[in-house]
């Protein structure tokens, strides 16, 4: 019989058996990481499950001195109240039909152990941010409206106001602070004095991440066609009035009826639901971007065969959004001699 123990963050146990299943509650956390860490003399196998102690079917399939199993509770709560993590001396075969789990990673540990022990800890996403961005992280989360409220109320009101109840292009989804910050920081690399623009800016989340994290940007601008979404962005901007941030401009406008955004250095388009016709019209305006400008989008074929642009990375960059993980592409405007 395998022993099962329920542990909460801060708790640890010494294990006297050859195998232990740890049950950890995944409800009641914000965005962050629960870690279930085990070490043992001679090494261990680790596996995890959403459905029960006997179904630990997701595993790194190798032995290590110890394992840190990282659980992101936000990906688990829809499937289960608990996660189950099994540590043992014997390998646990992976069911080839088992799905790939989102929100669990197995990190091998290298510390030699003198006994079999397990510990659970929790680290909030805020504490994982660089110290100088924690205030921005807090301010942003306090100011923005919950995605569920935006989707269930504001998006519908916007569709009705525009008489476009069934229009796919008004499908909503939005950026999350840390994943979007990481994308900008690691790939786009905003520079002081540059202008950031979001085409279809919704409630302004992306605009505010850029403005709060890069206060030396010359401006961060959002263009949103849906009046209720634009109004919520304006409300949010008011909430952030005490924060250090780059100047923000929010426009309630159809991006196809404006061309002032073509002076930007960084253009974000959450383009996943835009039609080919709309993307072609946007691409025609993007040609007037200055050399070195970066266009960040979600559509594989967009700007791919356009000589005015080069792909910064050929493979999609995986970015977590409010609706799941999606591939993002970055195109850089070439200079005249390139």
Ligand X SMILES: C[S@@+](CC[C@H](N)C(=O)[O-])C[C@H]1O[C@@H](n2cnc3c(N)ncnc32)[C@H](O)[C@@H]1O
* Cβ atoms of 229 and 161 closer than 8 Å: no
Rank residues 91 and 284 by Cβ distance to ligand X and give the closer one. 284
For residue 30, the tally of other CB atoms under 10 A from its CB is 11
CB of 238 to ligand X, least distance (A): 18
Q: Say which DSSP state 193 is in.
A: T
- Cβ nearer to ligand X, comparing 59 with 145: 145
3-class SS letters over 236-301: HHHHHHHCCCCCEEEEECCHHHCCHHHHCCEEECCHHHCCHHHHHHHHHHHCCCCCCCEEEECCCC
Which of 223, 302, 309, 329 touches ligand X (CB under 6 A)? Answer: 223
Total residue count of the chain as it appears in this document: 338
Among 169, 259, 260, 338, binds ligand X (CB under 6 A): 169
Q: Which stretch binds ligand X (CB under 6 A): 70-78, 225-233, 235-243, 308-316?
A: 225-233
- Token match 């835009």: residue? 274
Nearer to ligand X, 73 or 173 (CB): 173
Helix or strand (DSSP H, E) at 179:
helix 177-183
Does 103 contact ligand X by CB under 6 A?
no
Please report, for residues 229, 272, 302, the alpha-carbon distance to residue 173 in angstroms, rounded to integers and kept in the order given: 12, 9, 19
Give the shortest CB-245-to-ligand X separation in angstroms.
17
In the bound state with ligand X, the residue whose beta carbon lies nearer, of 39 and 211, is: 211
Query: By CB under 6 A, is residue 81 in contact with ligand X?
Result: no
- Would you say 20 or 295 has its CB closer to ligand X? 295
Whose Cβ is closer to ligand X: residue 26's or residue 199's? 199
* Residue list 240-269, contact with ligand X (CB under 6 A): 254-256
Least CB distance to ligand X at residue 269 (A): 8
Asked if residues 65 and 37 have their Cβ atoms less than 8 Å apart, the reply is no
Q: Determine if 225 is a binding residue for ligand X (CB under 6 A).
A: yes
Query: Residue 162: which residues within 8 A CB-CB, separation 6 or more?
Result: 170, 225, 226, 227
Q: Which of 70, 281 has the CB closer to ligand X?
A: 281
303/333 Cα distance (integer angstroms): 10
Question: Between 174 and 213, how does the x/- string for binding to ligand X read (CB under 6 A)?
Answer: xx----------------------x-xxx--xx-------
Distance between CA atoms of residues 235 and 238, nearest Å: 5
What are the residues binding ligand X (CB under 6 A)?
169-170, 172-175, 198, 200-202, 205-206, 223-226, 229, 254-256, 270
């Amino acid at each position: 019989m395998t022993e099962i123990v329920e542990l909460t963050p801060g708790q640890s146990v010494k294990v006297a058996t050859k195998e232990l299943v740890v049950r950890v509650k995944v409800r009641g956390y914000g965005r962050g990481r629960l870690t279930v860490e085990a070490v043992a003399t001679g090494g261990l196998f680790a596996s995890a499950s959403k459905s029960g102690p006997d179904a630990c079917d997701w595993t790194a399939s190798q032995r290590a001195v110890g394992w840190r199993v990282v659980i992101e509770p936000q990906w688990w709560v829809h499937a289960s109240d608990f996660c189950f993590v099994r540590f043992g001396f014997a390998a646990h075969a992976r069911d080839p039909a088992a799905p790939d789990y989102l929100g669990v990673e197995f990190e091998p540990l290298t510390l030699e152990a003198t006994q079999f022990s397990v510990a659970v800890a929790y680290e909030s996403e805020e504490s994982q941010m660089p110290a100088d961005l924690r205030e921005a992280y807090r301010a942003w989360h306090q100011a923005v409206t919950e995605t569920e409220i935006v989707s269930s109320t504001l998006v519908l009101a916007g569709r009705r106001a525009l008489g476009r109840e069934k229009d796919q292009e008004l499908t909503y989804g939005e950026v999350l602070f840390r994943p979007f910050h990481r994308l900008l920081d690691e790939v786009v690399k905003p520079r002081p004095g540059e202008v950031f623009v979001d085409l279809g800016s919704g409630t302004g989340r992306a605009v505010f991440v850029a403005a709060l994290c890069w206060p030396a940007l010359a401006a961060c601008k959002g263009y949103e066609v849906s009046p209720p979404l634009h109004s919520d962005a304006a409300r949010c901007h008011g909430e952030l009035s005490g924060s250090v941030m780059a100047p923000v401009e929010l426009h309630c406008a159809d991006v196809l009826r404006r061309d002032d955004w073509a002076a930007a250095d960084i253009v974000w388009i959450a383009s996943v639901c835009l039609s080919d016709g709309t993307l072609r019209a946007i691409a025609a305006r993007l040609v007037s971007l200055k050399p070195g400008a970066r266009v960040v989008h979600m559509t594989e074929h967009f700007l791919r065969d356009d000589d005015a642009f080069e792909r910064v990375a050929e493979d999609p960059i995986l970015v977590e959004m409010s609706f799941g993980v999606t591939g993002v592409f970055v195109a850089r405007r070439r200079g005249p001699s390139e």
